[in-house]
């Protein structure tokens, strides 16, 4: 690990001042950042330990009108097992518990989960070119080891995926990310928080320098609570990143007619993937395999494999149908 300065500010104002310094990075759980620093992939000149801000409420999980507010410093495990999350957003609970291990979930925070970096092997290998780690050096993944990598929204510069499970559920549930900087606060719709690689794959998200994630809010999700499911397909039964994951939620009428649908995919793109048009076209149809398969076709329109990851296209199709079927039957709870 590179030498770096360490500070532990006791209030958010001091933290924001410290984070405005060039090369400074916040650390909370540390489960991804410290690993990347050990690998030499990231080398911040200063770490700002924000854990003391838990005392200022940044670790709170609390009702927010008819919705819920999840503190950036709340641990993934505490979020997944929180009674309000389990009752109103079982999809979020299921997605979090599908990720990492109990030890990591005890450390990792909600804010940090959003800021996870890709697990592409070339990104981690400092001996290899990588446009995300070292802009302009190239992308060996396109014709290389790409079994885990993206099939949607890729660019010629990068085919990395975002590795989070939690974020897939947050995208499906229309979350909002709240951030603060020294000069003010703003709210970012979840759809706009992560970005596609385009010509600047080194930029994972739309956070500005010096901005800190303070909390995430969820709108009232109770209409989806009875019919939601998270399906994660991976190389082993537990403790592995998704090849493909699907967060699905349905609001069904008594006769099985779809009133609303939410479908987001993980493991397939640089950000959680969602096609609202496919959801809107489900409205008014009877829930069932026919409608679900049509939605899967729309969601995967334009999907492209790079060889090793070609299998992800039919896999994603099947996973979407499975997740919607599980949701229809009353999945996540």
Give contact residues for other proteins (rule: CB under 8 A): 1-6, 8, 27, 29-31, 34-35, 37-39, 47, 49, 51, 77, 81, 100-104, 106-107, 237-239
| Rounded least distance, CB 239 to other proteins, Å | 4
Give whichever of 9 and 197 is closer to other proteins, judged by the CB atom. 9
Cα angle 153-216-64, degrees, rounded to a multiple of 5: 135
- Neighbouring C-beta atoms of residue 256, cutoff 10 Å: 12
233 exposed, middle or buried (CB, 10 Å; 0-12, 13-18, 19+)? Answer: middle
Tell me the closest approach of the beta carbon of residue 299 to other proteins, in angstroms: 29
Residue placing its CB nearer to other proteins in the complex, 58 or 275? 58
Nearest Cα neighbor of 168 from 73, 297, 263 is 263
Is the Cβ of residue 29 or residue 272 nearer to other proteins in the bound state? 29
Minimum CB distance to other proteins smaller for 42 or for 294: 42
Measured distance CA(71)–CA(21) in Å, rounded: 24
Q: How far is CA 252 from CA 89, 168, 320, in A?
A: 16, 21, 17
Nearer to other proteins, 195 or 234 (CB): 234
**Nearest approach, Cβ of 81 to other proteins (angstroms)?**
7
CB contact set of 15 (below 8 Å; sequence gap of 6+) = 9, 26, 48, 50, 53, 212
Least distance from other proteins to the Cβ atom of residue 49, Å: 5
CA 54 vs CA 18, 21, 30, 31, 104: distances in Å:
17, 22, 15, 18, 18
Would you tell me the crossing angle of helices 289-299 and 312-329 to the nearest 10 degrees?
140
Contacts 24+ apart (CB under 8 A), 136-144: 139/201, 141/306, 142/306, 143/306, 143/307
Nearer to other proteins by Cβ, of 264 and 332: the residue is 332
Helix (H) or strand (E) holding 26: strand 24-27
For residue 72, the minimal CB distance to other proteins (Å) is: 16
Q: Distance between CA atoms of 190 and 114, rounded to whole angstroms?
A: 10
Nearest to other proteins of 191, 233 (CB atom): 233
- 152 three-state secondary structure: coil
Name the minimum Å distance from CB 190 to other proteins: 26
Tokens of 253: 């009428």
The nearest distance, CB 157 to other proteins, in angstroms, is 27
Min dist CB 201 to other proteins, Å, is 23
Contact between residue 63 and residue 198 where contact means Cβ atoms under 8 Å apart: no
């Amino acid at each position: 690990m590179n030498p770096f300065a360490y500070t532990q500010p006791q209030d958010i104002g001091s933290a924001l001042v410290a984070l405005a310094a060039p090369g400074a990075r916040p650390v909370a759980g540390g489960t991804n950042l410290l690993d990347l620093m050990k690998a030499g992939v990231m080398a911040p000149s200063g770490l700002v330990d924000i854990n003391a801000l838990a005392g200022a409420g940044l670790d709170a999980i609390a009702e927010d009108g008819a919705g819920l507010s999840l503190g950036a410093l709340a641990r993934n495990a505490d979020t997944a097992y929180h009674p309000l999350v389990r009752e109103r957003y079982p999809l979020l609970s299921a997605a979090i518990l599908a990720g990492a291990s109990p030890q990591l979930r005890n450390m990792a925070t909600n804010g940090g989960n959003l800021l996870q970096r890709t697990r592409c092997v070339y990104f981690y290998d400092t001996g290899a070119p990588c446009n995300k780690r070292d802009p302009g050096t190239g992308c060996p993944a396109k014709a290389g080891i790409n079994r885990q990598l993206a099939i949607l929204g890729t660019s010629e510069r990068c085919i990395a995926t975002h590795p989070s499970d939690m974020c897939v559920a947050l995208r499906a549930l229309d979350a909002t990310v709240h951030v603060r900087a020294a000069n003010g606060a703003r709210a970012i719709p979840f759809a706009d928080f992560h970005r596609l690689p385009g010509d600047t794959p080194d930029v994972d998200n739309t956070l500005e320098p010096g901005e800190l994630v303070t909390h995430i809010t969820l709108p009232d999700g109770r209409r989806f609570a009875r019919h939601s499911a998270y399906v994660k397909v991976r190389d082993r039964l537990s403790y592995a990143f998704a090849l493909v994951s699907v967060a699905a939620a349905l609001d069904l009428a008594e006769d099985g007619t779809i009133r609303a649908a939410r479908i987001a995919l993980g493991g397939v793109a640089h950000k959680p993937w969602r096609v609202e048009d496919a959801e809107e076209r489900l409205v008014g149809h009877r829930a069932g395999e026919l409608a679900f398969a049509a939605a899967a076709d729309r969601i995967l329109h334009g999907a492209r494999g790079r060889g090793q990851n070609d299998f992800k296209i039919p896999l994603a199709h099947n996973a979407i149908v499975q997740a919607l079927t599980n949701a229809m039957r009353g999945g996540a709870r």
